[in-house]
């Protein structure tokens, strides 16, 4: 058999934080005074995972597939979008090697929630928890994250297909 084909992808996303919204992150709902604003449930971690996967497969980005102008996606659970992205990736013959992500959030520590996020995402993506890394950082009170005006996240992925 020929050597497998490896491809990397990268995702970055930002959502505003405001009172009166739910706070979905990594597929789970967190209890906080502010929530993330978006057309969907605004789960920034899932969005960067989707973008990294789509980028790795050279399949554009999340907004290309699920437009924020389309009422079908209003308030949608981002886990549904991630499932669809995994179907696209697998449909093109790719499997996930691993993903590594960083959440940028000042307001509270997400470390205690990371095991639940990993378990949730592994189930949605139908991969092993060991293939999913989630990290977190504040921005030392600097910038929009530091002022808790928003949350951002980054993700890299490795996907592969056997030739
Ligand atoms: N929202 C966050 C931010 C950070 N952490 C954890 O705390 C560590 C220290 O954060 P600094 O921004 O001060 O470097 C970081 O390495 C994370 O382990 C967190 O859980 N949630
Ligand atoms: C996920 C989508 C689709 O509902 O909406 P948002 O929640 O606004 O998220 P964003 O990352 O800004 O863009 C992708 C969108 O198309």
Please tell me the total count of domains within the chain: 1
62 within a domain of the structure (yes/no): yes
116 lies in some domain: yes
Nearest CA to ligand 1 atom 16: 137
Chain-centroid distance, C-alpha 1: 33
pLDDT per residue as tens digits for the range 111-134 = 999 999 999 999 999 999 999 999
Ligand 1 pocket residue status of 137, Cβ below 6 Å: yes
Tell whether 41 is covered by a domain.
yes
Q: Which pair of structure tokens corresponds to residue 69?
A: 């102008």
Q: Is 111 in the pocket of ligand 1 (CB under 6 A)?
A: yes
**Global model pTM greater than 0.90:** yes
Kindly write down the DSSP assignment for every residue of 27-92, as one continuous string: TEEE--SEEE-SSS---HHHHHHHHHHHHHTT---HHHHS-TT-GGGTT--HHHHHHHHHHHHHHT
pLDDT recorded at residue 104:
98
Write out the residue range of the structural domain in which residue 85 sits. Answer: 6-161
Q: State in Å: Cα 4 to ligand 2 middle.
A: 32
Q: Is residue 1 one of the residues assigned to a domain? A: no
Quote the ipTM score.
0.91
Best mutation site among 40, 49, 73, 155 for ligand 2 pocket (most ligand atoms within 8 Å of CB): 40
**Which DSSP string do the residues of 97-108 spell out, in sequence order?**
EEEEEEEE-SSS
Residue 106 lies in a domain: yes
Beta-sheet pairing, 150-161 with 5-19 = antiparallel
Each residue's pLDDT tens digit, 68-96 = 999 999 999 999 999 999 999 999 999 99
CATH code for the domain of 96: 3.30.1330.50
The answer to whether the CB of 100 falls within 8 A of the CB of 155 is yes
3-class DSSP state for residue 93? coil
User: Does some domain include residue 87?
Assistant: yes
Q: Measure 137 CA to ligand 1 centroid, in angstroms.
A: 4
């Amino acid at each position: 058999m020929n050597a497998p084909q490896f491809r990397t992808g990268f995702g970055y996303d930002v959502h505003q934080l405001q009172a009166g919204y739910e706070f979905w992150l990594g597929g789970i709902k967190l209890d906080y005074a502010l929530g993330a604003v978006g057309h969907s449930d605004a789960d920034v971690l899932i969005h960067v995972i989707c973008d990294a996967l789509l980028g790795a497969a050279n399949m554009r980005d999340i907004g290309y597939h699920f437009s924020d102008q389309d009422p079908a996606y209003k308030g949608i659970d981002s886990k549904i979008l991630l499932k669809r992205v995994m179907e696209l990736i697998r449909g093109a013959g790719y499997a996930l090697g691993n993903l590594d992500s960083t959440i940028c959030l000042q307001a509270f520590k997400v470390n205690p929630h990371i095991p639940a996020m990993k378990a949730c995402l592994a189930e949605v993506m139908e991969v092993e928890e060991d293939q999913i890394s989630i990290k977190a950082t504040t921005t030392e009170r600097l910038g929009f994250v530091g002022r808790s005006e928003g949350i951002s996240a980054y993700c890299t992925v490795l996907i592969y297909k056997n030739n």
